[in-house]
């Protein structure tokens, strides 16, 4: 019998499904709230009970990332690794990882001031999609189709002036059907996929009401997802694909703490079971 | 138990666990279950959605 520790900061269906699955497989579980866990520079692994492996499932990216750093400091095996979380949590870093590894990804422009981003827009032309480098669920993602929108968006960024607001990530607007594909990979293998259909607007995030529909995992999807997973460092991931009319499948995102509540209802494979088994097998290696 | 915000009656399922969020049906406030021992439940104000929340 093994013991798996699930670290959370908000207990969602996903974390409860993972716990239930681990118990059904005959393993012990520890549900650990990151918000009330303490570390210090003298902390030792045996001061805690993290079981055989930790699944880091915080909803807050930075909380999860820093918690993972503390776990790795104590030599506690954790999924996903710090490097993976760090690669996936920042869209600019992720795009670089994908391109460096020859994975088809939309052309993306990086500027480090509003003026430089405007200059680039004048050169490249409209439309481009502005995305915050940190953030999920489609927040702050906006197609820039004219100068007025650019002025308004960039002015807003000046007002909020967070550290990441000075980094401008502008991506080509991919011509595609009004949907994208979310694939869950476990240990570089695609285990489930769904189409996320836009509910009328430009975005296809389930969190914004996009309709999920089961998608068959073709050999092409399997291959591109395996490469995307390897590019960011592997583990348990959500790979997002678009069907580009010109270039075929392109990877636009790889997500670190993948949500699977909706997909698990229709997927052929038992998603939480695959995740728990992968985690425990990783711990045994 | 009653909502700490508006005093409406809160329905907390028996299988609810520490860390889960309950919402008040009247005022819409969100609370996190911070302690649960049998029927005794303690709540705290839930965190609001952060800029870095999500996948």
> Looking at residue A159, which CATH number applies to its domain?
3.30.1490.20
User: Does residue B14 fall inside a structural domain?
Assistant: yes
Q: Is A257 on the interface with B (CB under 8 A)?
A: yes
What pLDDT does residue A208 have? 67
> Looking at residue A235, which CATH number applies to its domain?
3.30.470.20
User: Does residue A155 fall inside a structural domain?
Assistant: yes
The partner residue sitting opposite B18, judged by closest CB among A33, A132, A257, is: A33
User: Does residue B23 fall inside a structural domain?
Assistant: yes
Residues A8 and A78 reside in one and the same domain: yes
> Looking at residue A36, which CATH number applies to its domain?
3.40.50.20
User: Does residue A29 fall inside a structural domain?
Assistant: yes
User: Does residue B31 fall inside a structural domain?
Assistant: yes
Read off the pTM: 0.94
Assess whether pLDDT exceeds 90 at residue A197. Answer: no
User: Does residue A285 fall inside a structural domain?
Assistant: no
In the predicted model, what is the mean pLDDT of residues A207-229? 90
User: Does residue B41 fall inside a structural domain?
Assistant: yes
User: What ipTM was reported for this prediction?
Assistant: 0.86
Residues A167 and A180 reside in one and the same domain: no
Number of folded domains that form chain B: 1
In the predicted model, what is the mean pLDDT of residues A59-79? 98
**Domain encompassing residue B1:** 1-48
User: Does residue A200 fall inside a structural domain?
Assistant: yes
DSSP of chain A? --EEEEEESS--HHHHHHHHHHHHTT-EEEEEEGGG----TT--GGGS---SEEEE--SBHHHHHHHHHHHHHTT--EES-HHHHHHHHSHHHHHHHHHHTT-----EEEESSHHHHHHHHHHH-S-EEEE-SS--TTTT-EEE-SHHHHHHHHHHHHHH--GGGG-EEEEE-----SEEEEEEEETTEEEEEEEEE-SSSS---GGGTPEEEE----HHHHHHHHHHHHHHT-SEEEEEEEEETTTEEEEEEEESS---HHHHHH-SS-HHHHHHHHHHHHHH-
> Looking at residue B12, which CATH number applies to its domain?
2.20.28.160
Most confident of A151-160, A216-225, B44-53: A216-225
Number of folded domains that form chain A: 3
Assess whether pLDDT exceeds 90 at residue A267. Answer: yes
What pLDDT does residue B24 have? 94
**Interface A:B, Cβ pairs < 8 A:** 53
What pLDDT does residue B2 have? 92
Residues A10 and A76 reside in one and the same domain: yes
| CA-angle at A241, arms to A239 and A246, nearest 5° | 155
Assess whether pLDDT exceeds 80 at residue A178. Answer: yes
Assess whether pLDDT exceeds 90 at residue A205. Answer: no
Interface of A with B in 97-136 (CB under 8 A): 132, 134-136
- Measured between CA atoms, the residue of chain A closest to residue B31 is A10
What pLDDT does residue A209 have? 67
Q: Cα–chain-centroid distance for residue B53?
A: 18
Mean pLDDT of chain B: 92
Contact residues, chain B, for A66 at CB < 8 Å: none
Residues A168 and A228 reside in one and the same domain: no
Contact residues, chain A, for B46 at CB < 8 Å: 10
**Domain encompassing residue A15:** 3-87
Q: Is B30 on the interface with A (CB under 8 A)?
A: no
- Which has the higher per-residue pLDDT, B54 or A77? A77
């Amino acid at each position: 019998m093994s013991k798996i520790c699930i670290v959370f900061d908000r207990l969602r269906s996903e974390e409860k499904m993972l716990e239930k699955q681990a118990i059904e497989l005959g393993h012990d579980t520890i549900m650990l709230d990151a918000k009330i866990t303490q570390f210090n520079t003298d902390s030792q692994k045996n001061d805690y009970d993290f079981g055989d492996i930790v699944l880091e499932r915080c909803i807050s990216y930075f909380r999860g990332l820093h918690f993972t750093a503390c776990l790795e400091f104590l030599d506690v095996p954790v999924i996903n690794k710090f490097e993976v979380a760090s690669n996936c949590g920042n869209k600019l870093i992720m795009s670089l990882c994908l391109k460096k590894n020859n994975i088809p990804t939309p052309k993306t422009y990086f500027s480090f001031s509003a003026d430089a981003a405007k200059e680039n827009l004048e050169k490249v032309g409209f439309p481009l999609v502005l995305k915050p480098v940190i953030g999920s669920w489609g927040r702050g993602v906006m197609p820039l189709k004219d100068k007025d929108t650019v002025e308004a968006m960039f002015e807003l960024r000046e007002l909020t002036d967070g550290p990441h607001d000075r980094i401008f990530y502008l991506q080509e607007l991919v011509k595609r059907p009004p949907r994208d594909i979310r694939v869950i990979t476990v240990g570089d293998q695609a285990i489930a996929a769904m189409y996320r259909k836009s509910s009328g607007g430009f975005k296809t995030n389930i969190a914004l009401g996009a309709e999920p529909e089961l998608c068959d995992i073709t050999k092409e999807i399997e291959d591109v997802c395996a490469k995307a997973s390897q590019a960011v460092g592997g583990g348990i991931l959500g790979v997002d694909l678009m069907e580009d009319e010109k270039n075929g499948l392109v990877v636009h995102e790889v997500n670190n703490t993948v949500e699977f509540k909706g997909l698990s209802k229709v997927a052929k494979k038992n998603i939480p079971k695959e995740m728990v088994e992968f985690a425990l097998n990783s711990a045994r290696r | 138990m009653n909502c700490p915000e508006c005093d409406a009656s809160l329905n907390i399922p028996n299988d609810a666990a520490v860390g889960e969020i309950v919402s008040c049906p009247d005022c819409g406030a969100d609370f996190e279950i911070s302690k649960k021992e049998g029927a005794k439940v303690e709540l705290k104000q839930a965190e609001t959605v952060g800029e870095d929340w999500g996948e």
